[in-house]
Chain A
Amino acid sequence: MSGADVDPDDRGSEDVGEAAERAPTHDRDDADAEELTLVEAVRDGLAAEMLRNDRVVVLGEDVAENGGVFRTTDGLLEAFGSDRVIDTPLAESGIVGAAIGLATHGLRPVAEVQFSGFVYPAFDQLVSHAARLRTRTRGDLTCPLVVRAPYGGGIRAPEHHSESPEAFFVHQPGLKVVVPSTPRDAKGLLAGAVRDPDPVIVLEPKRMYRATNERVPAEPYAVDLGEAAVRREGTELSVFTYGATVESTLIAADDLDADVEVVDLRSLSPLDRETIAASVRKTGRAAVVHEAPRTAGVGAEIAATIQEEALLYQEAPVERITGFDTPVPLGEAEDYHIPAALRVREGLREAVEF
């Protein structure tokens, strides 16, 4: 990706000069890439976008002094100061509502909601306003807002800390929703979200925060929202997944005696319908994997897309391997709820052997 993705609507992203000169954290050679975890890549992505555009501000609970409860904003206060990295009162509706105001008036706020389970006080602001401001004013006012939230299970967290709420947001016209599964995408999708002219929810799979390292380019780059990535090419079965279940799906695919294609959706809204359809037209079989509950989950939308775009190529029904239609259980029981590699493999086998 290059700088060509700057939207004309993105009035803030040209103002990079002054900020770049301050450049407090980025002294490494741009040609370099560094091994980063996903959490480090989020931090790197925030710093890169803040350097690139001095209208980018970060706000949320415990993001400044404490550097975020997962350390995704560690060091940003020292680097960018307290007008750009802001500890707020404990009030999600206040954080997101204020961020909508900032966005409408020319800043590029990146609001952190500490866990996706605590986003609901801000749901009204997102659904009633962030999503609708552009349409309500026929494009006169816009809301280039980013809301980041860690989501999903797998870290033995307390109640309300493990849910996967993406479908609520995907269902809302006017919002975009992206989910990185790798450090490289964590930085690139975040940049894509910051530079996007519309409100974007970035859901970060917290189970993956420190699960893997990957070489992440030092220079700023953005992943275009709405583009899926094929993680493993195959000819017999297409699997669509995102977030933390990309990893278990890749393990399952290796473990199965079939030639499986694994597509990391990355962007749930907009959805890359073209890549989905092309893959199923090639393989004739499809499965979806996510840890959110099955009913009306993103998998249902993918299944519908496949029957709309590739019905005549299908040799099997779309298999859904998902979290169950229950609250995420606590403790070790969550491991039975989140599709682990073995459960994914068995689901894929059903699709292959149908």
Chain B
Amino acid sequence: MSTTRRTPDAADADHRYRYLDESGHLVEDPPAVTETTLLELYESLRFARAFDERAKSLQRQGRIATYAPMAGQAGAQVAAALAMDDEDWLYPTYRDNAAKFARGVDPADVLALLAGHEGDGDADARVMPEYIPIATQLPQAVGAAWTGLLRSGEPEYATLATLGDGATSEGDFHEGLNFAGVFDTPTVFLCQNNGWAISTPTERQTRSETLARKAAAYGVEGVRVDGMDPLATYVTVRRAVRKAKDDVAAVADEPADPEAVAAGPSGATRPTLVETVVRRFGAHTTSDDPSRYREEPDRSGDPLPRLETYLRGRGLLDDERVAAVGDRVETRLEAAVERAEARETDPTAAFEHVYAEPTPAVDDQRAELERLYEEYGDRVAGERH
């Protein structure tokens, strides 16, 4: 890391909203977050950490395909997801499994997908399928949030779309934020700025000093927060979600640290761009070798020990409770791996759900494959089968 701008927290230490310092001690008066939520944050974060480690190990063993680790970013993800209301919708990227789990998505479904089994999706949890092309989720999240305004004149639910720093370079970032500003939609854009888009540092993405600042040009509020502080992220996103839905109290609330408001009219409009400053502890994905383009990354400020220190200090956690959380996490994870691995490949599943009614071509082609499968079994798929 040769320049200060490459390290997200070097240039902006004064403009990043946080409650907890890197060792987990309060730097502000404690926010009004319920004990239940605090413990939920902790357990979700523990689960995300365990899932991440297990997924990397399953990938190395060839039991799942390419995986995008979230270490360093899971704190921002779980905090944002828990700050949403049940009726809100999440528009996640491929790196946001921690947010999905916190919304109630079954980890077995995520593992199964990573192993190549398309499932029913996560609509019950109000979670869209993960977006792999970059920034395409943003205009869609705006449209989804807009629906209530068009139907009833009132926001019915908010949408929260996640994105990375690289996504702010795509045209759809501009188009999504612009629509959100113009139509004043109840949308939260949760940017996880981990400083890297695969090998490209943020300084090669933008000359803008912060990403939150980009919101100003759209008339959208932009806030910058320490994304490795789950408390600060939770409070910031919670306010953004309430503000999106015209919650008068939230609109009146200034953020605890007005300096964090990087851009735009605070409280005056529904949409918010929240830039969470995080670190990507590991590789972009299991296919990536970051030693080719960056020094050993700074892994300080890990949200998990930080939150644990805080919760122990408040008397909400002790060794016994920490161990009990660990046991629950392991049990849940084991069960998920087992259920995911029980699924088998169905050669003809791809023909289903292409249209409401299969076209004649799809039907004919399915029959063609079934004929061959009946005669030759899995050999029809080649040497590996």
Chain A residues packing against B (C-beta within 8 Å): 61-62, 65-67, 69, 87-94, 117-118, 120-121, 156-161, 248, 294-295, 324-337, 340-343, 346
In the assembly, what is the distance between CA of A118 and CA of B135, in Å? 11
Contacts of B133 in A (CB 8 A): 117-118, 120, 160
Task: Give the distance to chain A from B97, nearest Cβ to Cβ, in Å.
Answer: 13
Top 5 closest pairs, chain A to chain B, by CB: A331-B116, A340-B382, A66-B199, A90-B166, A335-B381
In the assembly, what is the distance between CA of A173 and CA of B133, in Å? 27
- Residue B198 contacts which of A62, A93, A158, A337 (CB distance < 8 angstroms)? A62
Number of chain B residues close to chain A: CB under 8 A: 52
B326-385 interface (Cβ within 8 A of A): 345-351, 354, 359, 361-362, 365-366, 369, 372-373, 376, 379-385
In the assembly, what is the distance between CA of A67 and CA of B351, in Å? 38
B62-90 interface (Cβ within 8 A of A): 65-66
Q: Do A67 and B66 contact each other (CB < 8 Å), given the known contacts A90-B200, A326-B350?
A: no
Contacts of A343 in B (CB 8 A): 372, 380
Task: Give the distance to chain B from A72, nearest Cβ to Cβ, in Å.
Answer: 14
Task: Give the distance to chain B from A317, nearest Cβ to Cβ, in Å.
Answer: 14
Task: Give the distance to chain A from B38, nearest Cβ to Cβ, in Å.
Answer: 34
Besides A325-B359, A335-B381, 8 other A-B contacts (C-beta < 8 A):
A62-B198, A62-B199, A62-B200, A121-B172, A324-B365, A326-B354, A331-B115, A343-B380
Summarize A's interface: helix, strand, loop or mixed.
loop
Contacts of B362 in A (CB 8 A): 324-326
Q: Does B170 contact A (CB under 8 A)?
A: yes
> When the two chains form their complex, are residues A61 and B200 in contact, meaning their CB atoms are under 8 A apart?
yes
- Residue B361 contacts which of A120, A295, A332, A342 (CB distance < 8 angstroms)? A295
Find the A residue at minimum CB distance from B66.
A158
Chain B residues packing against A (C-beta within 8 Å): 65-66, 94, 113, 115-118, 132-134, 166-167, 169-172, 197-200, 204-206, 287-288, 292-293, 345-351, 354, 359, 361-362, 365-366, 369, 372-373, 376, 379-385
> When the two chains form their complex, are residues B170 and A90 in contact, meaning their CB atoms are under 8 A apart?
yes
- Residue A156 contacts which of B116, B288, B373, B383 (CB distance < 8 angstroms)? B116
Q: Do A158 and B65 contact each other (CB < 8 Å), given the known contacts A120-B133, A332-B381, A342-B382?
A: yes
Task: Give the distance to chain B from A93, nearest Cβ to Cβ, in Å.
Answer: 5
Find the A residue at minimum CB distance from B115.
A331
In the assembly, what is the distance between CA of A340 and CA of B379, in Å? 9
> When the two chains form their complex, are residues B66 and A157 in contact, meaning their CB atoms are under 8 A apart?
yes
In the assembly, what is the distance between CA of A336 and CA of B359, in Å? 19
Q: List 29 A-B contacts (CB under 8 A).
A: A61-B200, A65-B292, A88-B200, A88-B204, A89-B166, A89-B200, A90-B134, A90-B205, A92-B170, A93-B171, A94-B171, A156-B65, A156-B66, A160-B132, A294-B365, A295-B361, A325-B361, A326-B354, A330-B118, A331-B65, A331-B117, A332-B345, A333-B116, A335-B382, A336-B350, A336-B380, A342-B380, A343-B372, A346-B372
> When the two chains form their complex, are residues B199 and A65 in contact, meaning their CB atoms are under 8 A apart?
yes
> When the two chains form their complex, are residues B171 and A121 in contact, meaning their CB atoms are under 8 A apart?
yes
In the assembly, what is the distance between CA of A69 and CA of B290, in Å? 11
Task: Give the distance to chain A from B327, nearest Cβ to Cβ, in Å.
Answer: 32
- Residue B384 contacts which of A88, A92, A93, A335 (CB distance < 8 angstroms)? A335
